[in-house]
C-alpha cells in the first residue's frame, strides 16, 4: 500500500473513531416549527432572563396584571435609558426562520407621531445579529392603563444557525415623556424552511 493511501486510511479511521465533530444540538427540525424559548412567561427562576441594567428589576408582577401567570417583563418607564432582557435559546441545524408571538401592552406620555421610545426584538449570536424580528414604539401606546393584547407574529429570516442564540428584548428611550412596555407569554418558533 502506498504511503498516500496509508495516510488516507488512517485519517478515515481516526475520523470514524472520534465521531462527528459537529456541535450537538438540543433541538432538531421537523415537519412543524420547533418551539425554543424555555421561559417565555417570565415565571421560572431558571433559565433566568439576564437583565441589563439589573436595577430596577425588569420583571414585575405588581405594576400590571400579567397575561400568563403572575410575572411579566416590564421595560421602559425611565427616560434616556437603554435596557435589555436576554434569554438563551437552542437552534436546530438548518434553521432558516424564526417567529415570535406573545402579548404586549404599552403606556406612553409621548404625544408626537414619532418613534421616540422603541422596544426591539432580535436574535443574536454573541454580538452578531442573526435577525431582527420586529419592534414596537410609543406610537402603539395608550395614555391610560392598558390591557395585554396578542401581537401579530414577528418573523425574521436567520442569517446563520449556530447551536445556541440569544433572544434579546431591548428598549431605547429618549429623554422626555416616558413609555412603558409590558411583555408576556412569548413563544419563539424556529423552522428550517422559509
User: How far is it, in rounded angstroms, from Cα 147 to Cα 68?
Assistant: 12
For 42, counting Cβ atoms within 10 Å of its Cβ (0-12 exposed, 13-18 middle, 19+ buried), the class is buried
Confidence of residue 23 (pLDDT cuts 50, 70, 90): low
Boundaries of every domain in the chain: 28-191
For 103, counting Cβ atoms within 10 Å of its Cβ (0-12 exposed, 13-18 middle, 19+ buried), the class is buried
pTM equals 0.85
Neighbouring-strand partners of residue 188: 100
User: How far is it, in rounded angstroms, from Cα 18 to Cα 29?
Assistant: 25
Residue 159 has pLDDT above 60, yes or no: yes
DSSP of 37-90, one letter per residue?
-TTTTS--SSSPPEEES-SS-SEESSSS--SSSS-EEEEE-STT-EEEEEEEEE
Residue 11 has pLDDT above 80, yes or no: no
- Of 17-26, 34-43, 87-96, 178-187, the range with the lowest mean pLDDT is 17-26
User: How far is it, in rounded angstroms, from Cα 14 to Cα 11?
Assistant: 5
- The model's pLDDT over 108-141, given as tens digits with 9 standing for 90+, comes to 999 989 999 999 999 999 999 999 999 999 999 9
CATH architecture entry for 28-191: Sandwich (2.60)
Q: Phi and psi of 192, rounded to 5°? A: -100, 10
Q: How far is CA 162 from the centre of its chain?
A: 14
- The model's pLDDT over 36-85, given as tens digits with 9 standing for 90+, comes to 999 999 999 899 999 987 777 898 877 788 999 999 999 998 888 899 99
Amino acid at each position: 500500500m502506498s504511503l498516500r493511501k496509508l495516510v488516507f486510511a488512517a485519517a478515515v479511521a481516526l475520523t470514524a473513531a472520534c465521531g462527528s465533530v459537529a456541535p450537538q444540538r438540543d433541538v432538531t427540525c421537523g415537519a412543524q416549527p420547533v418551539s425554543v424559548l424555555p421561559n417565555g412567561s417570565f415565571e421560572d427562576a431558571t433559565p433566568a432572563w439576564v437583565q441589563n441594567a439589573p436595577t430596577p428589576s425588569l420583571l414585575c408582577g405588581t405594576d400590571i396584571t400579567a397575561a400568563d401567570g403572575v410575572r411579566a417583563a416590564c421595560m421602559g418607564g425611565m427616560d434616556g435609558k437603554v435596557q435589555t432582557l436576554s434569554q438563551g435559546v437552542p437552534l436546530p441545524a438548518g434553521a432558516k426562520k424564526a417567529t415570535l408571538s406573545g402579548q404586549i401592552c404599552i403606556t406612553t406620555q409621548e404625544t408626537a407621531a414619532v418613534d421616540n421610545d422603541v422596544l426591539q426584538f432580535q436574535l443574536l449570536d454573541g454580538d452578531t445579529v442573526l435577525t431582527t424580528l420586529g419592534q414596537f414604539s410609543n406610537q402603539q401606546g395608550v395614555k391610560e392603563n392598558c390591557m395585554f393584547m396578542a401581537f401579530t407574529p414577528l418573523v425574521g429570516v436567520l442569517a446563520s444557525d449556530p447551536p445556541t442564540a440569544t433572544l434579546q428584548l431591548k428598549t431605547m428611550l429618549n429623554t422626555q415623556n416616558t413609555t412603558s412596555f409590558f411583555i408576556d407569554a412569548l413563544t419563539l418558533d424556529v423552522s428550517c424552511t422559509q
